[in-house]
Amino acid sequence: MKIILRITRSEGDGVSRDADYALEVDPTASILDALLRVKDEQDGTLSFRRSCGHGVCGSDAMRIAGVERLACKTLVRDVAAAENAVVTVAPLAHLPVQRDLMVDQGRFFERYRSVSPFLVARAPAGPAETEQTPKERAAFDDATSCILCASCWSACPVLDQDAAYLGPAALVSAARFVFDSRDAGLPPRRAVLDDPHGAWGCENHFTCTRVCPREIKVTKNINALKRALKP
Amino acid sequence: MSGEFDALIVGAGGAGLYAALEASDAARQAAGGRPPRTAVLSKLLPMRSHTGAAQGGIGAALGNVEEDRPEWHAFDTVKGGDYLVDQGAAALLAEDAVRAVYDLEHRGLAFSRTDSGRIDQRRFGGHTRNFGEAPVKRSCYAADRTGHQILQTLYQQCIKNGVEFFDEWSVVDVILEGRRCGGVVALQLATGELHVFRARAVLFATGGFGRMFRVTSNAHANTGDGPAVLARRGVPLQDMEFYQFHPTGIRGLGILITEAVRGEGGILRNRQGERFMERYAPTLRDLAPRDMIARAIVSEIKSGNGMRGDGAIDDWVLLETAHLGRDVLEKKLPDITGFSRTYLGVDPVQAPIPVQPTAHYAMGGIPTDMDGRVVADAAGGTYEGLYAAGECACVSVHGANRLGTNSLVDLVVFGRRAGRHMARYVEGAGPAPAASEPEGQIRSTVERLRDGARGANAAALRSEMESTMMEGVGIFRNEQDLARAEQRMGELRGRWHEVRARDTSWRFNTELVGLLELRNLLDLSLLTAAAARRRTESRGAHARDDFPRRDDTRWLQHSLAWLHDGAVAFDSRPVDISTWAPKPRVY
């Protein structure tokens, strides 16, 4: 089918323009396939990130038809209903644009690092594995799926108002360790989480949960943190 | 910016990160003296590396679920690799795998668990009890996201250790003065600038190069930058003819469907509904090694037993999953269940997944010893201060065909050993040799690529390379196809010099990086085709129609291939067969 990709392009200088690219694509092709074809066949300067191509590396999150998605995991038929459909493609929000669909994720990764996203062992390890029941393991399973694509960061309305907010992904990463039975949990992370810009910044808009390409129950994880923080 | 480092690691996948952890641990332990300055260079952003796409598990003889021994794991690795595996290295791999899995767990990796709280284990192809008797549960896993967990855990530990990262820098050249490495030249994506990173020791951990092929499970980033850069500077590459096709890629797309599906009980069927692996591997059936299953699928397809039945190479077979039940599919295999639903509209809970082989893993690569030191010649002499680990390296623990789960074992076992050796080496090493203007040669290449002239179409070149490799250097090979592929790669390499970037900017020029990556793939394609043509036998993943038998008298040896301008020169190295004498490989 024929579609028109309407791509928000920019040189990272704050000035952006929409450029249209018409192409013939299979409805089951991904938006990443379509972008790669535009780059190969129409405009070599079109800039975007990609790597694994099947939704596990997190490189190609962008706003497609107004919603945060991974380009490789979004099929043309998911966003183009009819022949000659216009599909808008724009960079993630709340991060400075570097060029076209590439955004500077420095701030996003900084917040991630700030929650001590690594195991702080509760007890010294023995010679074999530290035991953990399937139930204990299940308690933080959802949070382990995060690929740090920054879709939630872009979609979160709190970040429109509060640029210092930790953001959903960093909070999910905190939850991943706080609820791990092997980890020391809240104490090493309380200062950063128990803060108006930490877990309490979340206003339960659920937009993060709706856009998460890994289907993580982001808001639920944040609310679990809030409950754990209450004295 | 021009940096001076003690240990520089190129690549931020499993091998590179593990090496960085070891080197930074050593730094923290260095009492008194100046701690070594370690940095990791990656062409991607954090945690985008392809280790994260590994699904099924990491093999280690923990014996948590049933009896197992490292010796059995080592034997399976040797037999799986069709006896081209160095047996001392395989023994080390299998023994150290146990420690490595515990270490990953201690560092936070969230393995799936048994009811008693131990690390759970499941079956995988070619992994057996008591030297081939029956499949054994050896693969330690985290659902079908084991690689994702390893990548995250190692990166998180690097944050904890304060490892320094340079993100989105592509390595474009290496500084070699004789047999001493002095650093690398790298291109920064953000600025388009070339910089010299001088270092006393450099570890290449740049991963695979499946992007040579049309249908592949590999990421766009898997372009073999490390091996290609070294090959152009006179470093030999080993066993390049051995490239693994994974039997179960999603039809048409090549996206990986983990072997763990068959480990959990999934069954391959042809258009007659026949469980055809019973004919090819009566004991292990659907859990035979990958090379055998990939060949079996192609044989079924060629004889008209594919689902379409026309014998065409793009036909497919079915992977039956519904009998595993929703619980197993959604809890133990959630990602592949999702891939099938997303990309095919097929729900594995109800219907079988259409699959065909997909280019997956390079057994060959940069030759190293067991400490990751890069080998320079047939006698086993090594470079000083030059290391490699992970898929880009060839120890060799995979021989002619890698067993499932052993790639992750390789990363953590040999990434760690290389990092540890490197940390020791830099303590005693003198300053990096100071070549004058090491970036000169690559600078003129980059300037030509972005001089704004109209050039050859790079997309067409890439597409020709992919088809030529897929058709001529694929699962079944012969002299005629290989000769044509080798010649074609010569021509395409010539045409690459006429290619130009249409994007002439300095900032975030992803097209320019893509052209440099294409050059790497073309060089490695040539080496692969030439090495496959030279080896006139069939062994593991290298199957020749015109030489269908393994020939231990002539070919029980590793190949070494040097890239000399347009030609490829060869030599060979002996294989360590000190424990198990080669036997016919039946399953």
What does the pLDDT look like over B263-312, one tens digit per residue?
999 999 999 999 999 999 999 999 999 999 999 999 999 999 999 999 99
Please tell me which residue of chain B has the smallest CA distance to A97: B508
Distance CA B457, CA B496 (A): 9
CA B310 – CA A73 distance, rounded (Å): 31
Nearest CA in chain B to A36: B459
| Phi, then psi, of B199 in degrees rounded to 5 | -150, 145
Confidence (pLDDT) at B105? 98
pLDDT at residue B96 tops 90: yes
The per-residue pLDDT for B182 is: 95
pLDDT of B30: 64
Radius of gyration of chain B measured on its C-alpha atoms? 23
* Separation between Cα atoms, residue A75 and residue A92, nearest integer Å: 19
Sort out which chain B residues have CB atoms less than 8 A from A54's CB and list them. Answer: 53, 253, 255, 339, 343
For residues B58 and B412, the answer to whether their CB atoms sit within 8 Å is yes
Give residue-wise pLDDT tens across range B388-440.
999 999 999 999 999 999 999 999 999 999 999 999 999 888 888 877 889 99
A129: closest chain B residue by CA: B102
- Report, as an integer, the average pLDDT of B99-106: 97
B212, with CB counted inside 10 A (0-12, 13-18, 19+), is buried
DSSP strand pairing (B194-204 vs B382-388): parallel
Cα separation, B392 vs B394, in Å, equals 7
Local confidence pLDDT in tens for the 231 residues of chain A: 999 999 999 999 999 999 999 999 999 999 999 999 999 999 999 999 999 999 999 999 999 999 999 999 999 999 999 999 999 999 999 999 999 999 999 999 999 999 999 999 999 999 999 999 999 999 999 999 999 999 999 999 999 999 999 999 999 999 999 999 999 999 999 999 999 999 999 999 999 999 999 999 999 999 999 999 997
Does residue B145 have an active-site annotation?
A: no
Taking chain B, what is the end-to-end CA distance rounded to the nearest angstrom?
56
Token readout for B117 is 């709280």
Interchain CB contacts (distance < 8 Å): A and B? 145
- B440: Cβ contacts below 8 Å, ≥ 6 apart: none
Q: How confident is the model at residue B32 (pLDDT cuts 50, 70, 90)?
A: low
For residue A5, the surrounding DSSP H or E stretch is strand A2-10
Do the chains contact at A45 and B145, CB–CB below 8 Å? no
Interface test with B, best of A35, A56, A182 (most B CBs within 10 A): A56
Nearest to B96 by CA among B350, B412, B317: B412
Task: Based on DSSP, count helices (H) and strands (E) in chain A, helices before strands.
Answer: 10, 7
Note whether B343 contacts A102, CB cutoff 8 Å: no
Q: Do B145 and A98 touch (CB under 8 A)?
A: no
User: Are the beta carbons of B118 and A54 separated by less than 8 Å?
Assistant: no
Residue B550 has pLDDT above 90, yes or no: yes
Q: What is the Cα–Cα distance from A31 to A51, expressed in whole angstroms?
A: 14
**Distance in angstroms (rounded) separating the CA atoms of residues A27 and A75:** 7
- Tell me how far the alpha carbon of residue B167 is from its chain's centroid: 21
Instruction: State residue B312's pLDDT score.
Output: 93
Determine, for residues A59 and B339 on separate chains, whether the beta-carbon distance falls below 8 Å: no
> How far, in Å, CA of B180 to CA of B433, rounded?
8
**From the CB of residue B460, how many other CB atoms can be counted at a distance below 10 Å?**
13
d(CA B494, CA B522): 10
Handedness of CA B274, B276, B279, B282 (dihedral sign): negative
**Chain B residues with CB-CB distance to A44 below 8 A:** 501-503, 511
Residues contacting residue B571 through CB under 8 Å, at least 6 positions apart: B236, B377, B378, B559, B560, B562
Sign of CA dihedral A218, A221, A227, A231: negative
CA-wise closest residue to A32 among A57, A49, A14:
A49
End-to-end CA distance of chain A: give it in Å, rounded.
58
- Tokens read off for A22: 């018409």
Q: Say whether pLDDT at B34 is over 70.
A: no
Judge: B335–A56 Cβ closer than 8 Å, yes or no.
yes
Q: Distance between CA atoms of A177 and B517, rounded to whole angstroms?
A: 38
Residue from A184, A175, A224, A229 nearest A204 by CA: A224
In the predicted model, is pLDDT for residue B82 greater than 50?
Answer: yes
Chain A residues in contact with B343 (beta carbon < 8 A): 28, 54, 75
| pLDDT, tens digit (0-9, with 9 covering 90-100), for B139-176 | 999 999 999 999 999 999 999 988 999 999 999 999 99
Instruction: Catalytic residue, from B211, B285, B290, B544: name it.
Output: B290
Q: Inter-axis angle of helices B14-29 and B146-161, to 10 degrees?
A: 30
CA pair distance B513, B81, nearest whole angstrom: 35
Query: Across the interface, do A144 and B46 touch by the CB < 8 Å criterion?
Result: no
List the one residue out of B528, B496, B489 whose CA is nearest residue B515.
Answer: B496
Q: What's the token pair of residue B340?
A: 């099938």
Contact assignment for B105 to A51 by CB distance below 8 Å: no
How close, in Å, is residue B208 to chain A by CA atoms?
A: 12
Spell out which residues of chain B touch residue A137, defining contact as CB-CB under 8 Å: 110-113
Angle (CA) B166 B172 B177, round 5°: 105
- Say if the Cβ atoms of B511 and A48 lie within 8 Å: no
Q: What is the structure's pLDDT at B25?
A: 82
The residue in chain B having the minimum alpha-carbon distance to the alpha carbon of residue A141 is B110
pLDDT computed for residue B1 by the predictor? 47
Give Cα separations from B574 to A86, B79, B375, B556, B560 (angstroms): 61, 17, 13, 7, 11
The percentage of residues in chain B with a pLDDT greater than 70, rounded to a whole number, is: 98
Partners of residue A132 in chain B, C-beta under 8 Å: 113, 117
Sheet architecture: strand order including B134-140: B58-59, B134-140, B121-129
Residue holding tokens 């910089």? B195
Question: Is B3 buried (19+), middle (13-18) or exposed (0-12) by CB count in 10 A?
Answer: middle
Virtual torsion, Cα B458, B460, B466, B471, nearest 10 deg:
-150
Q: Report helix, strand or coil for B428.
A: helix
| Shortest Cα distance, chain B CAs vs residue A18, angstroms | 18
Phi first, then psi: what are they for B117, rounded to 5°? 90, 5
Q: Which amino acid is at A220?
A: K
Residue in B150, B255, B508, B517 to test binding to A, most A beta-carbons within 10 Å? B508
B533, pLDDT greater than 80: yes
Confidence of residue B212 (pLDDT cuts 50, 70, 90): very high
For residue B30, give the nearest of B330, B382, B427 by alpha carbon. Answer: B427
The beta strands (E) that lie in B396-472 are given as none
C-alpha–C-alpha distance, residues B234 and B216, integer Å:
28
Mean pLDDT in residue range B70-81: 98
Is A52 in Cβ contact with B219 (below 8 Å)?
A: yes
The mean pLDDT value of chain B amounts to 96
Q: Which of B62, B109, B113, B358 to mutate to test the interface with A (most CBs of A within 10 A)?
A: B113
From chain A, the residues in CB contact with B340 under 8 A are none
Nearest Cβ partner of A118 from B157, B338, B509? B157
ipTM over 0.95: yes
Q: Which of B44, B156, B510 sits opposite A117 (nearest CB)?
A: B156
- DSSP letter at B93 equals H
Residue that is written with structure tokens 């590179």 in the block = B16
CA quadruple B192, B196, B200, B204: dihedral positive or negative?
Answer: positive
Which residues in chain B have Cβ-Cβ distances shorter than 8 Å to A56? 52-53, 148, 335
Q: Are B270 and B401 spatial neighbours (Cβ–Cβ below 8 Å)?
A: no
Using pLDDT thresholds of 50, 70 and 90, give the confidence band for residue B31: low
Partner-chain contact A52 B52, CB within 8 Å: yes
CB contact under 8 A, B50 and A129: no
CB-CB neighbors (< 8 A) of B160 in chain A = 116, 118
